[in-house]
A and B are shown apart, each in its own frame.
Chain A
């Protein structure tokens, strides 16, 4: 269940293939790719984003991601998972994060992929700073992300 933080671009096709390795028990591969939006809403008004800088907490980040994947493996029937997250400077349309889940069937793959993203959004120590025409600004956490993570705790 590899996790990786990197400054360079994510080669999505190669990452998925490297995880899959044509394992015959795999019947479903779910993936999620988060990308940089060129326009972001700030206080209801849209603002253009020329670049995004991602900061993280080296050491804790890798531990948090590994824990999230381990928790996903405990809850869902997954064969393997992968999380790759970029840090440093990113441009609009760049992939920020890639999550891949291998499973025997799609339902478990989709659910585990969503679970990993919901937990990553609220527990993994990354912070985004946008460059906008009005200057740089740190992105605010969204309450919807907390709610999304919270729903996995309900019985």
Chain B
């Protein structure tokens, strides 16, 4: 499954990356599983995406819960809690 992953704000800076196209393995079905899979890339990613970190997820530009299901061509964004207004 090919998806597009975006990162914003402090998370984008920490990873040094704003956008990543990736082919995810078939056992990665939800946004939480995607976060876990990405965290396995290296030590930097493990630290940035550690489970205790408060990170919000959007799927196709809508805020979702951890169990939201991925699909081919999905746009997934990870970011810190928002601070606008």
Interface residues of chain A, those whose CB is within 8 Å of chain B, are: 34, 54-57, 59-60, 63-64, 85, 96-97, 117, 120-129, 138-141
- Tell me whether B80 and A138 are in contact (CB under 8 A): yes
Q: Does B85 contact A (CB under 8 A)?
A: yes
Q: Name the residue on A nearest B84 (C-beta).
A: A126
Besides the contacts A55-B8, A141-B82, what 15 more A-B pairs have beta carbons closer than 8 Å?
Answer: A34-B85, A57-B8, A57-B58, A57-B61, A57-B77, A96-B85, A123-B82, A124-B82, A125-B58, A125-B77, A125-B84, A126-B82, A138-B9, A140-B81, A140-B83
Q: How large is the interface on B (under 10, 10 to 19, 20 to 34, 35 or more residues)?
A: 10 to 19
Let me know if B53 is at the binding interface, CB within 8 A. no
Which residues from chain A contact B79 at a C-beta distance below 8 Å? 57, 125, 127
Q: Contacts A63-B61, A138-B10 given: A127-B85 contact, CB under 8 Å?
A: no
* Cα A63 to Cα B58 with chains together (Å): 12
Q: Which of A54, A96, A127 contacts B80 (CB 8 A)?
A: A127
A60 B84 Cβ-Cβ under 8 A: no
* Interface check B6, CB cutoff 8 A: yes
The interface residues of chain A lying within 8 Å CB-to-CB of B61 are: 57, 59-60, 63
Q: Are B85 and A123 in contact (CB under 8 A)?
A: no
| Contact mask for chain B residues 67-85; partner A; CB cutoff 8 A; 1 contact, 0 none | 0000000000101111111
Taking CB atoms, residues of chain B closer than 8 Å to A128 are 83-84
Kindly identify which residue among A85, A117, A127 contacts B8, using a CB–CB cutoff of 8 Å.
Answer: A127
